[in-house]
Structure 1
Amino acid sequence: MAAVLLGSCDDVPKGKALKDHDSSGRVFDYTGRTDLRQLMAAIAESTLYISADTGPLHIANALKKELIALFGPTCPQRTGPYGGNDDAYIHMVLSPTSQATPERPLVDDPDCMAQITPDMLWQVYEGVLKKVKL
Structure 2
Amino acid sequence: MVKIKYPKYYKDLSINDLKNKCLEIFDTKLKGKKVINSNSGAIIKLSKKGAKHALFARGAGFNKVLCVSKIDQILRHGKMYSIERSKSKGVLFVIKFLTEVSIDNENMYVITFIRSTNSGEMYYDHAVIEQKKPQDYRNGFL
Structure with greater strand percent: 2
Question: Shared topology, TM-score over 0.5?
Answer: no
Structure with greater helix percent: 1
Q: TM-score, normalised by structure 1?
A: 0.25
Q: TM-score, normalised by structure 2?
A: 0.24
> Which one has more relative contact order, counting CA pairs under 8 Å at least 6 apart?
2
